[in-house]
A and B are shown apart, each in its own frame.
Chain A
């Protein structure tokens, strides 16, 4: 598709300078090591392939979360969203979870979505915590606005941290935003934010070399299989 760069300059939103998120490893309950790292814009097409099968899973609002995440990542890929980032969780190179968000301004972050592809291992919790860590410890923001689409998200974020309720509308629509403040983050950090740095080079190389993903049926089974872990 031809791109008119003159017009693009108008259509493309402002991008804040964003320091990189330093990768880390987390040992999961089953003993596997998950690499948490920041995705590059060039990773988006591969990530979307993993999100696609989730669009059709009604259970636990995966369809809504996936559809929105798909759009958000596509918007980032094609320069239609301000200051977005995406963090990935990979085990043995396989994509097991995705989180994203963006900077609303230099002080306030806007949390977007958390998608756990392998379930029952608190991957969503770990990745959401990594997202908050990025906003607070690396982007240096003072607060993050958050909404949850699923009851599981509500339990994990709003109750477990716990976040404070505000009457600020979130850009995703839905209910009013909840807010993570620096004070809340620092109180929750010792029990919710974990990880080891630096990541051993071999592990990082494996994760970066290729974002592996299971076939569509396996992804659906992991998320919505009869067992429903």
Chain B
């Protein structure tokens, strides 16, 4: 097995991109990653596209083949990877395995989604299509609904409070406001969304006990990476970013079948695998991008990946330990909460942000000083399919 490195990273600003098709967005992000890698005349051997909703929302299939043609990358192998909101992470995994195995040398991985083409409730319904078709979906469950129930249980079991959720929301919005790629470049004010009696309108209940600003927005966007063998990457001008470890685990489809619905086993297992393969531990990580589709998930995942003990994640967030400059900066990009969550793009976008962090390329107000190791967690379903990646800067 060969070591695999990331040598190119690109992203387009997330948000509402009425003027771009899904294919436009995938192409723009791909070109940025290819330019970033300095591929020049070199082509890629294979293209993996992470996308969840092209078939449902754009009535488009065979997206990867179309992208290869659009980018004049013929005859590169092309494959679309659909794995719910973990589609992006799964696409990266496929690229990683393809190079590690020795079958391919250069792989383009791109994740993208165009969700704002439909109304909010149709987008919510589209995402809910990942729930169980007989025991969940027919009863009207949505992902925010699941997250609300999960939050209530987590509050009861571990003492998480709305103050803790608020800390995550304020932090991620603050960081998103500094990120030119973020969907929501707006800081929030504690008074405006929590303390003031006017908060009842500004920040209404969405899925009790979660409020509007506990949820990520519905976004359009795309992000891309270029992967190649580490030995090849070492000859390039910039420090390669090694994919030091990855892990993936699956949990029951329905929440009610789990022994303890607050236990995100797939997160724990996937990150344990990633750490073991990377020969690192949670305390070695300098920056992390966790899948905060809902504020509770950042708190719960920060515990399940091993940054904090169970029941301590909320308190750590409220104490500022997950802020830039804190014990472990989490979602310095703004996370899904502010950068946005075009579902198929997210797993790739998380890695693009970590690559930029490990290359020390970000502006001072977003850069984690001297970051060497990073972690991403891409969370599919309600924790039933999770991918974790440990990235490591390799100085030449």
Contacts and interface: CB of A to CB of B under 8 A. Distances in A.
Interface of A: 26-32, 59, 120-122, 125-126, 129, 151, 155, 190-192, 194-195, 226-229
B171 to A, nearest CB: 15
Interface residues of B, number: 30
Nearest to A192: B201
A226 B15 contact: yes
A194 B203 contact: no
A228 B186 contact: no
B200 A194 contact: yes
B27 to A, nearest CB: 17
B284 interface: no
Contacts of A121: 186, 202
12 contacts: A28-B189, A29-B188, A29-B213, A30-B188, A122-B201, A192-B201, A226-B19, A227-B13, A227-B185, A229-B16, A229-B183, A229-B184
**Closest 6 CB pairs between A and B?**
A31-B189, A228-B16, A227-B15, A29-B202, A29-B192, A194-B198
B116 interface: yes
B192 A226 contact: no
A31 B191 contact: yes
A132 to B, nearest CB: 13
Given A194-B201, A229-B15, A27 B191 contact: yes
A82 B100 CA distance: 75
A49 to B, nearest CB: 26
Interface string B179-196: 000011111111111001
B16 A129 contact: no
A228 B183 CA distance: 8
Interface string B1-28: 0000000000001011111000000000
B120 A155 contact: yes
B134 interface: no
B188 to A, nearest CB: 6
Given A27-B196, A28-B192, A30-B192, A191 B201 contact: yes
A227 B18 CA distance: 10
B201 A228 contact: no
